[in-house]
Amino acid sequence: MRIAYYPGCSLKALAANFDRSARAAMGALGVELVELERWNCCGTVSSLTTDDLMRQLAPVRNLIRAQEAGERRLVTACAMCYNTLKRAALRVEAHPEELAKINAFLDEEPDYRGGVRVLHLLELLRDEVGFEAVAKRVVRPLEGLRVAPYYGCLLLRPRGVGLDDPENPSILEELVRALGAEPVDSPLKGQCCGSYHTVAHKEVVARRAHKILSEAASRGAEALISSCPLCSFNLDNRQRLIRELDGSFAPLPVLYFTELMALAFGLEEALSPEGHYVDPRPFLEERQLLRR
Amino acid sequence: MDKMGKIDLSAKELQEEVEALSGQRVFACYHCGKCTAGCPFASEMDLTPRQVLEYIMEGRVEVLNSRTIWLCAACFTCTVRCPNGIDIARVMEALRQILLRRGEDSLDLASLGEEELPQIALVAGARKLIG
Ligand code: SF4
Ligand code: SF4
């Protein structure tokens, strides 16, 4: 299967390990992620005012790129891009008069006609590849590995945009099980990590991350998985600051779900130390899930 | 920070502007406090999310001085839980926008350090905190 792929800005820079592992893991399942040509930043966050059509131009322009390529679907790995692109796609679908305005404004682009579906990689895994096929591809079952899924906000909310039950999601747990590992549940798995406050209010984020990580660790988690470069940064890199606030805090590796897949699929080269503050390799080597 | 000194808004104008920008019926709130109960930033806020609704309903323009509206990170927890269907994240955004559109930014990009941040953190921060 070939599918149009929107990497987004972070996966081209600080979260290149997310992009690399996504391509490798999906490739191993027979899914080729074909990068959209001339894509642009989606705008990252959905604007939430009623008069914000200007802010929809960036996401809609990406939908036009997909339409140009003859694609009806656009898949992304980043939870933030997913949310923003999907909200824009649903909005113009529901409000043709707004779409007409956007098309008139983007007069150097072909008109967007609607109909491009925005998907997250996890949905593709669940609904098309199937977790059974994922389990079949596993060459190194992650037996006994206790992994805490972390959803954060934008995979789940608001209702109608999220890809699972906003209060009781299970898609990441299903993936973890398919890989042979053991999911560790936490009541904070859908709680905000502090998001963009990491730019100017690191301590606020460190306090959020401290809670989320400690709760998962107290329930036996040995690692945490995420689907967002910003959540990962906050939960991983902010551990430096958490250590300053709490000397007894033990580091917890944070992986992208695609890195966990790559590991179970035996694609070790897709799991690099770059992109991680807490290097996950020593602990995986110790558990004999990674060759030294 | 006192942003109000520079902003001249009557109680009624505040209410009208919030409802117009957010598209939400603020007066549908019956103060159950569910929004506050689930807000991950409530302990860091000066006004709880429910109090923000109360201030708007009472026309208390000083709500614009609250640290709460900047701490809200639009996580949509309150949005999915409000029994009256109020999208509180939009109400918070409307309050931020009232200030941002009058030139009251809440982030000074020039003051940021050297740390390499995820690109989406910078873009999101700039979009939410700068007019
Ligand atoms: S959850 Fe809704 S009704 Fe309850 S206090 Fe908050 S805004 Fe008001
Ligand atoms: S959207 Fe804002 S007010 Fe509502 S729960 Fe999240 S941070 Fe709190």
pLDDT digits (tens, 9 = 90+) for A229-284: 999 999 999 999 999 999 999 999 999 999 999 999 999 888 888 999 999 999 99
Residue A152 lies in a domain: yes
How many CB atoms lie under 10 A from the CB of residue A50?
A: 14
The total number of structural domains that make up chain A: 2
- The per-residue pLDDT for B3 is 61
Q: SS3 for A97?
A: helix
Residue A131 lies in a domain: no
Is B5 a residue whose pLDDT tops 70? no
- The per-residue pLDDT for A131 is 98
Q: Which of A44, A154, A234 to mutate to test the interface with B (most CBs of B within 10 A)?
A: A44
Say if residue A9 is in the same domain as residue A97: yes
- The per-residue pLDDT for A256 is 98
| ipTM of the complex model | 0.95
Segment among A124-138, A276-290, B37-51, B73-87 with least mean pLDDT: A276-290
Q: Which of B24, B95, B120, B129 to mutate to test the interface with A (most CBs of A within 10 A)?
A: B120
Using CA atoms, how far residue A238 sits from A15, A129, B110, in Å, is 15, 34, 22
- The per-residue pLDDT for B110 is 85
* Cα separation, A145 vs A223, whole angstroms: 8
Segment among A152-166, B68-82, B100-114 with least mean pLDDT: B100-114
Q: SS3 for A74?
A: strand
- The per-residue pLDDT for B113 is 86
Say if residue A271 is in the same domain as residue A158: yes
Helix intervals (H) in chain A: 16-28, 57-68, 79-94, 96-105, 121-124, 131-137, 171-178, 202-218, 229-236, 239-245, 257-264, 281-286
Say if residue A210 is in the same domain as residue A274: yes
Per the CB < 8 A criterion, the answer to whether A209 and A193 are in contact is yes
Say if residue A261 is in the same domain as residue A153: yes
Ligand 2 centroid–CA B77 distance in Å is 6
Segment among A118-127, A149-158, B113-122 with least mean pLDDT: B113-122
Q: What is the pTM of this model?
A: 0.96
How many pairs of residues across A and B have Cβ atoms under 8 Å apart? 126
Using CA atoms, how far residue A106 sits from A62, A88, A102, in Å, is 12, 15, 6
Protein residues with CB under 6 Å of any ligand 2 atom: B 35, 38-39, 41, 49, 72-78, 88-89, 92
Say if residue A270 is in the same domain as residue A211: yes
* Cα separation, A116 vs A154, whole angstroms: 20
Ligand nearest to the CA of B82: 1
Residue A129 lies in a domain: no
Q: Which of A121, A150, A172 is the last residue of a domain?
A: A121
Say if residue A168 is in the same domain as residue A60: no
Ligand nearest to the CA of B92: 2
A241 touches chain B (CB under 8 A): no
Give the CATH number of the domain where residue A62 resides: 1.20.1050.140
Residue A130 lies in a domain: no
Say if residue A37 is in the same domain as residue A156: no
- The per-residue pLDDT for A173 is 98
Q: Which of A67, A93, A121 is the last residue of a domain?
A: A121
- The per-residue pLDDT for B6 is 67
Full strand arrangement of the beta sheet holding A146-149: A182-183, A146-149, A223-226, A254-256
Say if residue A91 is in the same domain as residue A167: no
Ligand 2 centroid–CA A158 distance in Å is 12
- What's at A260, amino acid-wise? L
Per the CB < 8 A criterion, the answer to whether B72 and B89 are in contact is yes
Say if residue A168 is in the same domain as residue A262: yes
pLDDT digits (tens, 9 = 90+) for A62-107: 999 999 999 999 999 999 999 999 999 999 999 999 999 999 999 9
Among A227, A167, A247, which residue's Cα sits nearest to residue A8?
Answer: A227
Using CA atoms, how far residue A165 sits from A82, A141, A168, A200, A221, in Å, is 16, 28, 5, 32, 23
Say if residue A26 is in the same domain as residue A58: yes
Say if residue A164 is in the same domain as residue A116: no
Is B1 a residue whose pLDDT tops 80? no
Mean per-residue pLDDT of chain B: 94
pLDDT digits (tens, 9 = 90+) for B81-96: 999 999 999 999 999 9
Provide the residue range defining the domain that includes A169: 139-286
